Structure 1
Amino acid sequence: MSLSVGIDIGSTTVKVVVMDDGVITMKHYERHFSQVRQKTAEMLRLARGAIGERAFTVAISGSAGFGVAKAAGLPFIQEVFATGEAVRHSGEAIDIVIELGGEDAKILFLTGGLEERMNGTCAGGTGAFIDQMATLLDVTTDELDQLSLRAQRLYPIASRCGVFAKSDIQPLLNQGAAKEDIAASIFQAVVDQTITGLAQGRRIEGKIAFLGGPLHFFKGLQKRFVETLHLSPENALFPDLGQYSVAIGSAVFSEQSAEQLTFDELLTRVEDTANEVHSARYLEPLFADEDDYEAFVERHRRATVPERAIESYEGNAYLGIDCGSTTTKVVLISQQAELLYQYYGSNRGNPVDIIKEQLQQVWRLCGGRVNIRASVCTGYGEELIKNAFGIDAGIVETMAHFKAARFFCPNVDFILDIGGQDIKCFQVKNDSIDSIMLNEACSSGCGSFIETFARSMGYEIAEFSQKGIFSQYPVDLGSRCTVFMNSSVKQAQKEGAGVEDISAGLSMSVVKNAIYKVIRAHSADELGEHIVVQGGTFYNDAVLRSFEKEIGRDVIRPTIAGLMGAYGAALYGRELELAETATMRPDQLAAFTHTSKAAQCGLCTNHCNLTVNTFSGNRRFISGNKCERPLGVGKAKELPNLYAYKMDRIRNLKSTPGRRGRIGIPLGLAMFENLPFWHAFFEELGIETVLSDVSSTELYGKGRYTIPSDTACYPAKLMHGHIESLFEKGVDTIFYPCLTYNFDEHKGDNHYNCPVVAYYAELMRANITKLQTVRFLYPYFGLHRPKDFEKKAYQYFKGYYTDLTQREVSAAAKKAYAAYYAWQDDLKAEGARAIAYARANGLQMVVLAGRPYHIDPEINHGIDRLLSSFGIVVLTEDAVADLVEPQKVNVLNQWTYHARLYNAAKYCTMHDDTELVQLVSFGCGIDAITTDEVRAILERGGKLYTQLKIDEINNLGAVKIRIRSLLGAVEERRRRAKRRDA
């Protein structure tokens, strides 16, 4: 009889299995909290009784197991192969294995060609992601699972990356969405990530075994997989020992080893490795010694705000509330800006309850002595809190932070605020905000990452941060996205780095991410002389010291660094000069109630997912809307909106039945611009054009299973759904040409299409097997050369429509070119009308600059309508690009769409009433060039640069902050100019 031991040391847990002649006699599963080798030795001791004095074979697996195996001289098996061994040992006829671990996810295809796919350096869609989301909701993982089983609806949550998902979830929490629905949506995001990120175009079908801890413990996750993949009970296997699969496979694999050990020999080897410390990359310690640290602390104590006991104060007061992404802050200040009351705490997933408690406390402390004259709210939850409690005013958080920083340092020229999920950087010139830099749609490099990582290692954030202060060997984790840092942290753990070293390394990484990824500073001089840092993350002395060391100069951290948004809001309240606040009084608060429910708006084709909040007195606040219509104010006056105009014209293109049949055209990528050309061309040839449905989340889901790469931009991924839509319409011919060149507009050095737009047909042909059942036409044409096009079009289409003549094709081509240029002329004329309307009515204009396909409502997520709701006339880059001379830029200007961006940026610098906001799709590598060039053009012309990165994320909370920040900065400049002129 053979005795074997399998050890699976994953990113978050250790599993040990003992098998006697193939039968499991002992198993154990525990989290290691980054004490990898110590926990492994501890768990082996638990196995002594099952092993006894017999010799046995052993093998180790898991993402954190390689270092232990190497140091102990033990056999190692890669976890995917260990899973395969476990499946074979089970004897089940399994087609596919899906296994989710703490930070690892993998799919093993066993039928139809053996293939394994595993996540890379990103931990999105794994157990660690679920842990982070539970922390965000302030529930245990078990409670998260129970909540998900009571869900009534699903919200679309970005599935590609954990921090992207948090950017969707946090606004839902602040808007009052039900935790049950959010919990189920989190599990759906994990499912989506598995399908798109791991399967990458290969169908998940047949008998599927779901393994790993998350899939064993979370019934809600099991439910989402079964429903999404439409699995029958026979085809969805959730083994009782699923969480031990890798350990079982390791034990089975070990039987091939010639070496046998006794228990004492194995334990000695593992214990010896626990004392080894050898990390390849160390950084300089943050402090030389305790005296150095004390001097640092004393210096930062000086930036303080005067405080006064509220019990002894009589007079006017001003309330400031900052309902942030993860925390709630409340301050009450006196007429002299003294701090009378302060609160800083977690939202606990329900900011309304927190604010109610705080308002009751403030009123109790005020008694009859203190007169609250004004209350002001800022932060993610601003609108919800204003509507819930009758708060007097709101202020965008960037302006609130600016007011607070200027109070501490009147000559401040740079402000850096690192919050739970946001990094905000403000350059200040001439006593007003000159430029605003914010992290994009992800929260990489922010405080929430350090907090969730601390908890994953079994520490509270304060204790974890304190450990890093005196680390002698901080680990160099680089300045990459914080989710990618997980792999660096795991590597450091393998090499024996302690908690202190990882804590210090993470603090340094957060700082580097802010400086080099958000600010993009080349030197400290770019930041200025007088720098104020704020936000709860800077309470962490290790982060603050890392920042000072990285830029080589001292900065100011106010003692109320985490309260600066609330303090700035209170200062703004003092400026309002109200006689008395309208904020709810104690008797109203005692009767206050709040419920929320999900709904879907049907007033337009956007079908916004709404959260309807109902407060006491039957008051309602609706969030999630992209326009004003569901708020009951009727249809707002329609302002000129070139995005809506272009999309309506696309929708109104009608085709008639033709003598040569039908041809399907996917409404995506280049077709948003070239459709008028092809529509006229095929109509003239007697071929009816059938368009795919307009993009939607549902359409995206239909084609998700054929997407081969998760790094492609969202507009490209949508093309797979458009092809599915055409199949549903029953067309037998589908057309999407490959166009290396665009029309030559003589604006740049060349006129290429980007590679994705130009050649995505090739990728679809190779990955969408259904295209083999129809005629898929993807010819290579050059529309920039009309005569050549006529010849090549005839040669190509003659092969499919044998009765075609050269004359017919030439006539059709001429009509197509005429239709295209007429379309472009009409767009420019509409742009001129919109500009004239804005100036006649004194309205602000914004050029919402991007690509032609950004008019797709599913891609822009209604940002154009959001701008309109602020009373802004929305223009497009192609409507104004011809109004200036072609721009000379610092890069090779060879892309048609980009040349328009540069011209549009120049146009905005020439007009005080026009600003530019650039839309950028995640996954667009070329935009790494355009964003810098557009920024440079605008800043040379004295304009602010605002960039909105968009993807599957469709919550506009962060977008609103950016737009309001831009408008606030513009208004501040205008006020300054008026004061100067006066």
Structure 2
Amino acid sequence: CAVFAKSDMIHLQQKATPNEDITMGLCEALARSYKSNIARGKDLKGPISFQGGVAANQAMLVAFKKVLKGENIMVPLHYFSLGALGAALSLMEKKERVPFDPECLTKEFPPPQEKESLPRLISDEHKNIPSEPEKYPELKEGEPIDAYLGIDIGSVSTNVAVIDKRKNLLAKSYLPTAGKPIKAVQEGLKEVKEKCAGRVKIRGAGTTGSGRYMIGSFVGADVIKNEITTQAKGALNVDTNVDTIFEIGGQDSKFISLEREVVIDFTMNKACAAGTGSFLEEQGEELKINIKREFEEVAFSSTSPADLGDRCTVFMESALFERLQRGVSIPDLVAGLAYSVVYNYLNKVVENRKIGENIFFQGGTACNKSVVAAFREILGKKITVPPHNEVLGAVGAAIVAMEETKTETKFKGFGLSEVEYRMESFECQDCPNHCKVNQVWVGEEKKPLTYGDRCDKYSGKEGKGKKIGLPNLVRERGKLLFSAKKIKGGKKIGIPRALHTYELSPLWESFFSKLGYEVVISDHTNDEIIHGGVEMMVAETCFPIKVTHGHVLNLLEKNVDYIFLPSIIDFEGSDSQLKRTYNCPWSQALPYFVNSAIERKAYSTQFLEPAISLREGVEKALKILGDQLGENPVRVRNAVKAARKAQSTFYQRLKIKGSEIMRRFGKRKAFVLISRPYNGCDPGLNLDIAEKMRELGMLAIPMDFLQPDPSLISAEYPHMYWGYGQKILAAAKRIKETDNLYPIYITNFACGPDSFVSKYFLEEMDRPTLELQIDEHSAEAGIITRLEAFLDSIRNKKLLRETKVEKVPQPIHLSKERVIYIPYMDDHSYALKATFEAMGQEAEVMEISDLESLRQGQGYTTGRECYPCILTTGDILKVIKKSGLPEKRLAFFMGTAQGPCRFGQYRSFHQQLLRKLGYADIPIISLDAENSYGGYGTRFTKLAWSAIASIDILRKVQRLIRPDEVNKGETNKVYEKYRDEILKAVRCKRGLTPIMKEAA
């Protein structure tokens, strides 16, 4: 993704990676992206013609040759215009010609009227936006005054601020980073030095922003602080009553909630930069609009702002050109972009967090008055853009330096602005990690600033956790997991070090070893495995599935005889109330994904792909596997017994280790990694988060060390049918029992179950929780920022003890006083309505979902849910607001299922949302055998089923005949006639057979 690639490039720049290495890496990334997203696993053989404008880039040609492993690739002479040449040649081959009038190219067409437009943006020069010249305290001649320096080194801008002891701003600099962070800092130091004219003495220096560590080393910072803390400090320096901060920078967006001058909640954009300043700047460039001043002026001239939605940057660019080609005016598009960045920020960053009343809008984007106006229009609240909003992060860093610098400052002086430096990089060959080490040589200093070495061999750093003896429990868990003795000599069975292997490895290893096979586990997850997996994908999935493909490729390269790639349907379950313990659909489908991505004929390796239901019993699953291998039943039984014992021993060791850790660190703040084993305990997949936490002095505890018991949640979540979902919610119960435990929820982009499970988890928790979304695009800097900010927030916040309302489901008895609203699901919804009416229950079918449904739904969902969930959420909220009925008369129908698809969670989510919004008395009704179909029994089911099936048959026949009908519209009339007769018969509880026979 172009947006993620930009983020990666910026984070590399902030680690002193030379620009030439970054640009070549970009070319190779584009070549890999083409191979995975366009070729989608196809075997590309030469000769290959490289065409289009990008073919002018010789580095891209080199990159393609590297990625395609030396295939013959040529760039033809007219590479730029071959499409146009082809169009002309195809015309020459046609006998018929269409007359061409050149004047049609200059003909102007009237602009189209947009079906949906947004309210006009109103410029408000006098309100909430500073317009007076900024003033600074006058620096008098004489002894230099004590001052403090703050530097905010961001992806797009670099900000420098100097404050005095009273926190007054003495000087500031706001410059573009322009891909050269050190150079930008030097220029910023030079500017503030000239403004201060030697009349200040720096007593402390602080750095913040994505480049804070490198620049902290470069300038000699006394304090290096995360952006959340410094932005809050900067805002509180202006107004101690601020309760909400919107901060939109060039590449990152932040939301901060404060209470009594303390950060109580925060979040950052998880991945996409569509709600950021660079998004506006890039789209403005496409429209030839300068982002400074011109953008807002053009936006305010719009009379009908285009509704561009809140799509990702890449899709937004497509939508922008599509509207341009349709003739939508530039002002309407620019105003639409201002709205779009706000909708993106509110829906993708803030999500459904509480927004206060005293809102500060900070960061460079806050200087754009059209975005401020869009915020005001959407929220209907006062939006304050504080003085010096663009440098408040730097001001906050200076304030933190003043508060925390107790000794002589380490600041190297303003002379740094003139110092020469050079950057170098090399790949360390001393271990399999092959770290890319970057070094900056500054002036005459004998030791370089070093970044990128995981073991700190060159940088010499020692994390806080190592100093105080904190263990890395993820690594210790890994040793327990993969502790089986390896047998050499037999046929080799390869097992991918991914997905279920991170829990069930003892079971599989022991079983195969007992049968005499040599078990080969794939290598630890590394960049090569990740890239290999991503490139071979033929479908878009979550990150762990992509990585598993890479592990399969790794095993194929080891020439194993078999690869064990089961379809794990479900897991063992111990609670009778939780009748399902499903694996997620993508994990279940793993062998089928791999089968479509790999040309198996090219390998001699055989694949073992049994469908395994662990809930039906390990013995049954392994017996089937033994039969597939042609093994003796007696040997298989012995192997099953050994496998059972090995897995049980592993679980017991986890329990013992967990108890030991809780005794040893019982009073210390500790952090539980809420995750599935494969994304929380695979260091290569999650950027070695446990080690990063250890370096920050944070003890990371794998979730299964707590031994979460699903029976703890069976009464409240009887419809939680995912096995890992049950354990995650049970872990929430265990954490709440212990004051010093805090959760860090690790998820992956496009994880279906987590779009619901994470909501339930957050609803359960009575304390701050950090959610980290990790995938192939994640960067270390963003993860560390979030960890540091989370640590700061819990230091300052007392543990909340909320009284949670028990959510034990009550039996449903439909009241005749209520009107049941049914989502529109084609005309089948009217069949359901008629069935309710046959039972004497008033019911209505909701309107077809529209743009308002989408907007309402997006305001209370995260965007990770399936689309129908978002729409039905909006539909329900629309009815509540527009029906005019009191709560006691409203009810909503929502179908349910038993998994593993997410549809079965809609009802639970909608009920939770209504409770959160203060509509606890409005029920969401799902009719099934467990609640006796709302008290109507099976007669309701039979009647509803026959009505739905009959309308379904009519619909199919209608669509079959309609394309060939003689009299236009006659098919629809016939369909509607018999549909209405069916609905009338259902209301009267009559049979439908005569109607269907007549219709036939």
Name the TM-score class by shorter chain. Answer: 0.7 to 0.9
1:868 pairs with one of 694, 710, 716: 694
Is 1:608 matched with 2:445? no
Runs of 5+ unmatched residues, structure 1: 1-160, 288-292, 978-982
Match of 1:619, SS state, is coil
The alpha-carbon deviation at position 477 of structure 1 amounts to: 0.6
Alignment match, 2:737: 910
Residue 798 of structure 1 pairs with residue 627 of structure 2: yes
* Kept in 2: contact 1:316–1:371 (CA 8 A): yes
* Map of 2:65 onto structure 1: 226
* Partners of 2:159 and 2:188 within 8 A in 1: no
Moved more, 338-347 or 365-374: 365-374
Distance 1:182 1:762 in 2: 36
Alignment length (residue pairs)? 790
Q: Give the 3 Å change call, closer, same or farther, for CA 976–768 of structure 1 in structure 2.
A: closer
- Residue 740 of structure 1 corresponds to which residue in structure 2? 569
Alpha-carbon separation, structure 2, partners of 1:386 and 1:377: 6
1:259 shift after superposition: 4.1
**CA displacement 1:887-937 (0-9 Å, x = unmatched):** 365683111112222222333333332211111112312211122122222
User: Quick one: distance in 1 between partners of 2:299 and 2:185?
Assistant: 33
How far apart in 1 are the matches of 2:383 and 2:461? 48
Structure 2 CA distance for partners of 1:649 and 1:597, relative to 1, 3 Å: farther
Report matched runs for 1:908-947 at 5 Å.
908-938=735-765, 941=766, 943-947=767-771
Specify the alignment match of 1:214 in structure 2. 54
| 2, 8, 11: which one aligns with 1:171 | 11
Partner-residue secondary structure (3-state), 2:614: coil
d(CA) in 1 for partners of 2:188, 2:605: 64
Q: TM-score, normalised by structure 2?
A: 0.75
User: Does 383-392 or 296-305 show the bigger shift?
Assistant: 296-305
Contact (CA 8 Å) 1:413, 1:531: kept in 2 or not?
Answer: yes
Deviation by residue 1:99-124 (Cα, 9 ceiling, x = unmatched): xxxxxxxxxxxxxxxxxxxxxxxxxx
Letter in 1 for 2:68: L
C-alpha distance in structure 2 between counterparts of 1:227 and 1:728, whole Å: 19
Identity, % of aligned positions: 28
Residue 21 of structure 1: aligned partner: none
**Quick one: which of 253, 273, 279 aligns to 1:423?**
253
Equivalent residue for 1:957? 781
Secondary structure class of the residue paired with 1:489? helix
In structure 1, the partner of 2:148 is: 318
Structure 1 residues 164 and 561: alpha-carbon distance in aligned structure 2, compared to 1, 3 A threshold: same
Which shifted more, 821-830 or 598-607? 598-607
Q: 1:190 to 1:557 in 2, by over 3 A?
A: same
Aligned partner letter, 1:844:
K
1:382 aligns with 2:208: no
Partner of 1:62: none
- The Cα of 1:171 is off from its aligned counterpart by 1.3
Paired position in structure 2 for 1:16 = none
One-letter identity of the residue aligned with 2:497: L
Check 1:885–1:325 CA distance in 2 against 1; reply closer, same or farther (3 A cut).
farther
Report SS of the residue matched to 1:201.
Answer: coil
Residues 1:502 and 2:333 are matched in the alignment: yes
Q: Check whether the contact 2:223–2:405 (CA below 8 A) recurs between aligned residues.
A: no
**Per-residue deviation, 1:174:** 1.6
SS state at 1:340 partner: strand
In 2, are the aligned partners of 1:441 and 1:958 still within 8 Å (CA)? no
1:541-561 CA-to-partner distances (Å, cap 9, x unmatched) read 111100111101111111312
Is the CA contact (8 Å cut-off) linking 1:606 and 1:857 kept in structure 2?
A: no
**Does residue 620 of structure 2 align to residue 620 of structure 1?**
no
SS in 1 for 2:613: coil
Report 1:94-173 matches (<5 A): 161-173=1-13
Note the C-alpha offset of 1:489: 1.0
Contact 2:506 2:646 in 1 (8 A): yes
- Could you report, residue by residue, the CA deviation over 1:414-454 in whole angstroms, capped at 9, with x for unpaired residues? 11111111111111123311111211133221111111222
Shift of 1:224: 0.4
Pairing 1:722–2:559 present? no
State the Cα distance separating 1:248 from its structure 2 match: 1.6
Q: For residue 400 of structure 1, give the secondary structure of its aligned residue in structure 2.
A: helix
- Counterpart for residue 222 of structure 2: 392
Inter-CA distance 756–976: structure 2 relative to 1 (3 Å threshold): closer
Contact 2:710 2:727 in 1 (8 A): no
**Aligned equivalent of 2:371:** 543
User: Gaps spanning 5+ residues in structure 2: where?
Assistant: 802-1000
The equivalent of 2:106 in structure 1 is 271
Write the distance in 2 (CA, Å) between the matches of 1:374 and 1:219: 48
- After superposition, where does 1:288-687 map in structure 2 within 5 Å? 293=123, 295-301=124-130, 307-310=136-139, 315-462=145-292, 463-521=294-352, 526-576=354-404, 578=406, 581-587=409-415, 589-590=417-418, 592-601=419-428, 605-616=432-443, 617-626=445-454, 628-633=456-461, 636=466, 639-657=470-488, 661-687=491-517
Give the counterpart of 1:852 among 658, 677, 682: 677
2:285 is paired with a residue whose SS is helix
Q: Could you say if the C-alpha distance between residues 850 and 540 of structure 1 is closer, same or farther in structure 2, counting changes exceeding 3 Å?
A: same
Counterparts of 2:274 and 2:773 in 1: how far apart (Å)? 14
Distance, in Å, in 1 between the alignment partners of 2:228 and 2:620 is 58
Q: Which amino acid aligns with 2:37?
A: G
Instruction: Name which of 607, 613, 620 aligns with 1:776.
Output: 607
Question: Matches of 1:818 and 1:218 in 2, distance apart?
Answer: 59
Q: Does 1:191 align with 2:31?
A: yes
Write out aligned runs for 1:756-771 (5 A).
Answer: 756-770=586-600
Q: Which amino acid aligns with 1:815?
A: A
CA distance in 2, matches of 1:354, 1:975: 41
Compared with structure 1, are the counterparts of its residues 768 and 821 closer, same or farther at alpha carbon in structure 2 (3 Å cutoff)?
same
Residues 530, 776 of structure 2: 8 Å contact kept? no
Deviation at 1:689, TM superposition (A): 1.5
SS in 1 for 2:342: helix
RMSD: 2.7
Structure 1 distance, partners of 2:258, 2:462, is 40
Match of 2:942 in 1: none
* Post-superposition offset of 1:278: 4.0
2:572 touches 2:615 (CA, 8 Å); kept in 1? yes
Q: Which residue of the other structure, out of 800, 804, 811, is the alignment partner of 2:638?
A: 811
Structure 2 counterpart SS, 1:899: helix
CA 1:472 to 1:735, structure 2 compared with 1: closer, same or farther past 3 Å? same
- The letter of the residue matching 1:457 is L
Q: SS where residue 655 of structure 1 aligns?
A: coil
Aligned partner letter, 1:856: D
Change (3 A) 1:476 1:793: same
Q: How does 1:887-902 map to 2 (within 5 A)?
A: 887=713, 892-902=719-729
Counterpart position of 1:119 = none
Determine helix, strand or coil for the equivalent of 2:384: coil
Conserved 8 A contact 1:663-1:733: yes
Map 1:14-93 to 2 at 5 A: none
Contact 2:231/2:392 (8 A) holds in 1:
yes
Matched, 1:247 2:76: no
Amino acid at match of 2:121: L
Cα pair distance change 1:257/1:910, threshold 3 Å: farther
Higher relative contact order (CA 8 A, sep 6+): 1
For residues 475 and 497 of structure 1, the distance between their equivalents in structure 2, rounded to whole angstroms, comes to 8
Q: In structure 2, what is the equivalent of residue 56 of structure 1?
A: none
Q: In structure 2, what is the Cα distance between the partners aligned to 1:845 and 1:601?
A: 33
What's the offset of the Cα at 1:336? 2.9
Distance (whole Å) between structure 1 residues aligned to residue 26 and residue 547 of structure 2: 22
2:371 partner letter: V
- 1:704 shift after superposition: 4.9
Per-residue Cα deviation, 1:244-297 (whole angstroms, up to 9, x for no partner): 1221222223343734445xx22x21222455444443222102xxxxx2x444
One-letter amino acid of the structure 1 residue matched with residue 244 of structure 2: F
TM-score computed with the length of structure 1 as normaliser: 0.76
Matched position secondary structure for 1:567: helix
